Each structure stands twice: as C-alpha cells, then as structure tokens.
C-alpha cells in the first residue's frame, strides 16, 4: 500500500481524504503548505518518506507548484498530486514541475481514491526503476580510497581531486569524491564548484534515510564526478559526527564503485572513522624531515591500531633530486618502501587556483603522468581501455567493527 501524505489547511478536505483512503494516510498539521522541503520533512516527524504527496493548491497555486517541483527533486520516486482549480497556465507549470495529477477542488472520495491509487502505482514503478543499478554502479561493493597525511599542505587535495576526476573520466558516474577535511576542506574550490548542498545535508534528514535522496544532494562536476563538499562554515563541522561519516561512506560504497575521500591533516576522530571504512589508503608525505618523521609516526600508529589496510600506498610528493633527503633516506626513516613519487611541478598550484585538476585539463607535465600512474596503481588499469577485474580487494568485514576511535584514545592514554 502506498504511503500517502496530505498537506492542507482544510479539515473538510482532510475528512474527504480520510474517506478516500479509509484512513490510511498521514495528514501534516492543518495550516498553509510548508514553505520548503525542509519544513515538509520536519513536519513528517521522522515518518518514512511518502510515495504520494497530495498538496492542497487552492490557497496558493504558484507556491504549490514550486513546492511540488522541489519535493520531486528530493524524493525522485514520489508522485505529487495537486488539488485545486488550475487554469491552463498553472496546469502547464505543474506538468513541467513533474506533478503526477491535478484533482478538481470538488472531487469526491472516489475520484480522489482513483487519483491516489494511480499516483501510488507510478511511484512504485519509478522507485523500482531508480533502484536498478546503473551500469556505472553495477555490482558495487565500492572501494573507499582515502588520502591521508600527518601534516598539512603536502598535496592530499591535489591527489584526491586528480584521482577522482580520472576515475570519473574512465567510468562516468562511478565515482564520488567526499571532502572530509570537515573544517577547512577546499575540494569545491579545487574543482571550481559552487555547491548548493554540503556534507551536512548528506548526513541529516531524508538524505540520511534514503540513498536515492542522498544522490539528489550530490554536486555534479563536468567530468561526471559526484562531489560532497565540506561544510561552508567551519562551525558547521560540529553537526557531523564520526558515526555520520562512517554511515555515509558505507552508503556511498554501496552505490558507487569508487568513493574517494580527502581528509584533514592528522588523525582526528573523523579521519579515524574514515580509516575504519577504507579499503585503499594513500599516505602522502612531503620530502622533508618534519613531513617524513610525521609519516613514520602515522604509519606506526595505524599499524598499532590495525588500521593500515593491505592495499596502502606511500606517496612522496614534491619529490626532487635537489632535495637534501634521498628516497633511500625517506624509506629508512618511515620503515617501508615509497610506492610512488610525485615530482614538484609549476602546473600544480595554478591548477588548484584555477579549479581545474591536471588530469582534467590533461596538461602535459611529469606530475600529470605520475598522478595517472597513481590511479593505475590503486585501481589497476580498469576502464582505461581494459576490462574491469571480476573482483576487487576484499573490504573489511562489517561483522567486526573496529572502533578505531576508542582504541586510539586508549593508545594515547597508554
């Protein structure tokens, strides 16, 4: 049976809908139509998202049409039905807004029942179609590729944005980039995006409950990459918990083949939650003594916490033969091999400032080649002209949550 929600200020209409549905509907509190989808969802008070929304459009038809359009955006599977005496212009606008049906104001219970039944059927068909995995996400037990470093300014965002646009280029629609540098993330700026929605919108309200709604609050990048931008204001970071982060990454990994995560420097609670969900870890360090020493400590800590996945890659950024340190020095200090070197490049700062990653503009540069090699190293050459492998490295069993954050606290105390 369809979940029907009625928004009206009329007790008389509420009674008619009660008769039409034998009481199987949820009336919002009597009053003017909700001002926006956020108010609509708040009035649901945690009830599941509706299949059918009946809006009483008699008082303010233009607002009803605009609310219908915005609800449609948030709940793409739902059918919106208007009740009102619409002139041809409003009716046309309603049609364009995706309204399923318009019921005349004097419609009896039988007419209302028929309209709601048809709207419910169409909502169910749409929900089934939307649930079908697309070719880009088919079989997704997605990889979560996280980019971390102990120190700031070593190239995490450069690496994360370039990897993400390259993965999206290889398989459009397959990749989402999440900016989990929650306070000061600059992925949106590095991709020249002006997001309408931010991280906070993905971990609250209907987007948290429903992966279809979640997809509607992702920001689209011209390469086909989906992006979740960090909050607009550092203060909003308090609204995102580490549990929210873990939940979001799990849902994204069930919907996308690749989830690329940019992080803040160090091992915050949020980054530990990211590490718990990570299948492939990219550890970035600069080629200087503080950077390399920090990397040594980070790797040691992650080993102790059992948070270093088998698929991890140590990336030495700003690599230069003129550096006082050699690669052998770096490897000796961090106690493991360097997997890939990214050369210093004049094109890198410009690309961040212009908001066009090197692998998007395709500028010929040794760093561009090295970044592409990094993508090949992490995901193989899948979709870069060769068929995708049948299986991906196994992700950690969810039956054994690792509670990294609490272990980290114990480690610090010990």
Ligand X SMILES: Nc1ncnc2c1ncn2[C@@H]1O[C@H](COP(=O)(O)OP(=O)(O)OP(=O)(O)O)[C@@H](O)[C@H]1O
**Residues of the shown chain interacting with ligand X in the complex, contacts defined by CB under 6 A:** 149, 152-158, 181, 265, 317-318, 342, 344-345, 348-349, 352, 367
Tell me the closest approach of the beta carbon of residue 148 to Mg ion, in angstroms: 11
Nearest to 254 by CA among 393, 129, 140: 140
Is 157 or 219 the residue whose CB approaches Mg ion more closely? 157
DSSP calls for 269-337: HHHHHHHHH-SEEEEEEESSHHHHHHHHHHHHHHHHTT---SSEEEEEEEE-TTSSS-HHHHHHHHTS-
Query: Is residue 158 a contact point for Mg ion (CB under 5 A)?
Result: no
Is 176 or 182 the residue whose CB approaches ligand X more closely? 182
Unique residue bearing structure tokens 């689209």: 220
Is 126 or 156 the residue whose CB approaches ligand X more closely? 156
Tell me the closest approach of the beta carbon of residue 284 to ligand X, in angstroms: 7
Rg over CA atoms, the chain: 25
Query: Is residue 162 a contact point for Mg ion (CB under 5 A)?
Result: no
Which one of ligand X, Mg ion, none is in contact with 283 (Cβ closer than 5 to 8 A by kind)? Answer: none
Query: Is residue 263 a contact point for Mg ion (CB under 5 A)?
Result: no
Nearest to 59 by CA among 119, 13, 123: 13
Which one of Mg ion, ligand X, none is in contact with 228 (Cβ closer than 5 to 8 A by kind)? Answer: none
Is 234 or 349 the residue whose CB approaches ligand X more closely? 349
Query: Is residue 317 a contact point for Mg ion (CB under 5 A)?
Result: no
Q: Residue 398: which region, alpha, beta or left (left: phi > 0; alpha: psi -120 to 50)?
A: alpha
SS3 breakdown of the chain: % helix, strand, coil, rounded to 5?
A: 45, 15, 40
Is 278 or 345 the residue whose CB approaches ligand X more closely? 345
**CA distance linking residue 213 with residue 127, whole number of Å:** 11
203 contacts 248 by C-beta, under 8 angstroms: yes
Nearest to 84 by CA among 115, 50, 42: 115
Which one of ligand X, Mg ion, none is in contact with 158 (Cβ closer than 5 to 8 A by kind)? Answer: ligand X
The tokens for 113 are: 């029942």
Considering only the stretches 27-35, 118-126, 129-137, 150-158, report the one whose residues sit in contact with Mg ion under the rule CB under 5 A: 150-158
Considering only the stretches 85-93, 155-163, 266-274, 330-338, report the one whose residues sit in contact with Mg ion under the rule CB under 5 A: 155-163
Among 122, 146, 149, 157, binds Mg ion (CB under 5 A): 157
Give the Cα-Cα-Cα angle 168, 174, 178 (nearest 5 degrees). Answer: 80
Which one of ligand X, Mg ion, none is in contact with 408 (Cβ closer than 5 to 8 A by kind)? Answer: none
Q: Taking the CB of residue 218, how many other CB atoms lie within 10 A of it? A: 23
Instruction: Tell me the pairing of strands 219-220 and 226-228.
Output: antiparallel
**CA distance linking residue 298 with residue 189, whole number of Å:** 28
Which one of ligand X, Mg ion, none is in contact with 152 (Cβ closer than 5 to 8 A by kind)? Answer: ligand X
Is 84 or 265 the residue whose CB approaches ligand X more closely? 265
Considering only the stretches 19-27, 157-165, 307-315, 355-363, report the one whose residues sit in contact with Mg ion under the rule CB under 5 A: 157-165
Is 112 or 374 the residue whose CB approaches ligand X more closely? 374
Tell me the closest approach of the beta carbon of residue 282 to ligand X, in angstroms: 11
Tell me the closest approach of the beta carbon of residue 359 to ligand X, in angstroms: 13
Which residues are near Mg ion by CB under 5 A?
Answer: 156-157
């Amino acid at each position: 049976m369809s979940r029907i929600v009625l928004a009206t200020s009329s007790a008389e209409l509420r009674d008619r809908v009660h008769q039409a549905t034998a009481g199987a509907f949820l009336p919002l509190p009597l009053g003017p139509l909700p001002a926006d989808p956020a108010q609509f969802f708040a009035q649901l008070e945690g009830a599941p998202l509706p299949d059918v929304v009946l809006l009483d459009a008699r008082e303010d038809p233009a607002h009803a049409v605009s609310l219908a359009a915005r609800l449609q955006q948030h709940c793409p599977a739902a059918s919106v039905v208007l009740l009102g005496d619409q002139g041809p212009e409003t009716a046309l606008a309603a049609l364009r807004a995706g309204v399923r049906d318009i019921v005349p104001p004097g419609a009896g219970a039988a007419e209302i029942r028929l309209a709601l039944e048809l709207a419910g059927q169409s909502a169910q068909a749409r929900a089934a179609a939307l649930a079908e995995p697309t070719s880009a996400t088919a079989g997704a037990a997605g990889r979560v590729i996280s980019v971390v470093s102990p120190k700031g300014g070593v190239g995490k965002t450069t690496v994360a944005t370039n990897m993400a646009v390259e993965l999206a280029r290889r398989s459009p629609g397959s990749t989402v980039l999440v900016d989990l540098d929650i306070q000061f993330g600059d992925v949106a700026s590095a991709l020249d995006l002006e997001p309408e929605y931010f991280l906070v919108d993905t971990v609250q309200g209907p987007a948290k409950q429903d992966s279809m709604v979640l997809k509607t609050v992702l920001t689209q990048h011209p390469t086909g990459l989906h992006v979740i931008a960090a909050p607009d204001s550092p203060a909003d970071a308090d609204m995102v918990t580490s549990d929210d982060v873990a939940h979001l990454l799990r849902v994204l990994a069930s919907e996308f083949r690749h989830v690329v995560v940019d992080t803040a420097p160090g091992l915050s609670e949020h980054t530990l939650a990211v590490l718990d969900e990570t299948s492939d870890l990219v550890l970035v360090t600069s080629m200087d003594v503080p950077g390399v020493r920090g990397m040594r400590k980070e790797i040691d800590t992650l080993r102790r916490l059992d948070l270093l996945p088998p698929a991890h890659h140590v990336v030495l950024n700003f690599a230069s033969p003129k550096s006082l340190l050699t690669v052998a020095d770096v490897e000796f200090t961090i106690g493991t091999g360097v997997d890939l070197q990214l050369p210093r490049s004049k094109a890198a700062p410009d690309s961040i400032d212009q908001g066009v990653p090197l692998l998007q503009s395709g500028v010929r540069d040794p760093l561009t080649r090295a970044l592409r090699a990094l993508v090949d190293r992490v995901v193989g050459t899948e979709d870069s002209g060769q068929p995708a492998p049948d299986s991906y490295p196994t992700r950690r069993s969810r039956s054994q949550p690792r509670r990294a954050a609490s272990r980290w606290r114990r480690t610090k105390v010990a």
